[in-house]
Amino acid sequence: MTRFDSATMVAAVGEGRYTAELDPGYLIGRAINGGYLMAIMQRAALIESPHAHAVSSSYHFLRPGTAGPAEIDVAVLKAGRTVATVQVTARQNGAALVTGTIATATMDPSAVPVYEAEPAPVPPIEECVRFDPRAGQISTTSFIERVDQYYTQESWDRINRRAADPVPELVGHVRLSEVDGRDNDDPSLFLPLAVDALPPVVVTLDSWRWAPTVELTWHMRAIPEPGPLTFRSRAAAVNDGWFDETVDLWDTKGRLVAQSRQLARSSR
């Protein structure tokens, strides 16, 4: 079992009730990363569901979490033969941190797409730049020690605001770090973390600041192969203290495995 697998484990303590220990390695500053929370909540939801995969998930972030004990409440709203709908809430000290609704189904790993758009043109991981815009702003047990991020040179220049065209778009590769075991037992469990592991895309427009997610919806499109994921992150509008962020993820075979869209606050 990898560190990521163990860090996302939940324990049943009653009907539809679970506990988890939030690992300080997934802190960004003083707040637990939202993707890591989603991965834990997904684990609990899939235990209660009759299906194996979270195909559509929508989360509202109510307040930041911290390292330590958490409670997960799960309710199956509908258990259909093809799709089940599960409601899940994470709490600390009795206060709700995140609430979500997850549609679950069982995907076929051998399914061949009828149509699939070409993946983003990203150089191999060894030709990209490993980077963390939050370095020096978080503790030694840092998030960057858990998740490796690699950026194209163009994205690197955008993050450092050296690009001639400061478009809010980043491309590169993301994977679990060697510290976390690199290839976790179930590659699909990494997807909710991966869609929220990147720096806020508005970093290309201003220095990095905390940009809290208000709502995030993501879809699982295929069961990923083990290994790094290629990503493209972009915003369509940054306006009045708000921005959207869309993330697409492809696996090592070039298959689209996840898509996400979130609304977040900027200028924090």
**Span 16-48, pLDDT tens digits:** 999 999 999 999 888 999 999 999 999 999 999
Q: Look at residues 132, 136, 130 and name the one whose alpha carbon lies nearest to residue 29.
A: 136
Report the C-alpha gap between 224 and 205 in whole angstroms: 32
> What confidence tier does 8 reach under pLDDT thresholds 50, 70, 90?
very high
> What confidence tier does 3 reach under pLDDT thresholds 50, 70, 90?
confident
Report the C-alpha gap between 154 and 227 in whole angstroms: 23
Report the C-alpha gap between 78 and 81 in whole angstroms: 10
Distances (CA, A) of 169 to 24, 127, 131: 29, 19, 15
Average of pLDDT values for 257-261?
98
Other Cβ atoms closer than 10 A to 54? 29
3-state secondary structure of 248: strand
The model's pTM is 0.93
Report the C-alpha gap between 40 and 53 in whole angstroms: 14
Q: Are 247 and 260 in contact (CB under 8 A)?
A: yes
Q: Are 190 and 248 in contact (CB under 8 A)?
A: no
Task: Give yes or no for residue 75 having a pLDDT over 50.
Answer: yes
Task: Give yes or no for residue 139 having a pLDDT over 50.
Answer: no
Between CA 144 and CA 149, with CA 145 as vertex, the angle to 5 degrees is 45
Helices and strands (DSSP H and E) totals, the chain: 4, 16
Q: What is the pLDDT of residue 182?
A: 67
Amino acid at 67: A
Return the half-sphere exposure (C-beta side, CA atoms, 13 A cut-off) of residue 137: 13
SS3 content of the chain, % helix, strand, coil (to 5): 20, 40, 45
Least confident of 128-137, 170-179, 247-256, 259-268: 128-137
**Span 89-98, pLDDT tens digits:** 999 999 999 9
Between CA 85 and CA 203, with CA 8 as vertex, the angle to 5 degrees is 90
- In the chain, the domains with their CATH numbers are 3-107+122-265 (2.40.160.210)
Average of pLDDT values for 95-103?
98
User: Hey, CA dihedral for 138, 191, 262, 53, is it positive or negative?
Assistant: negative
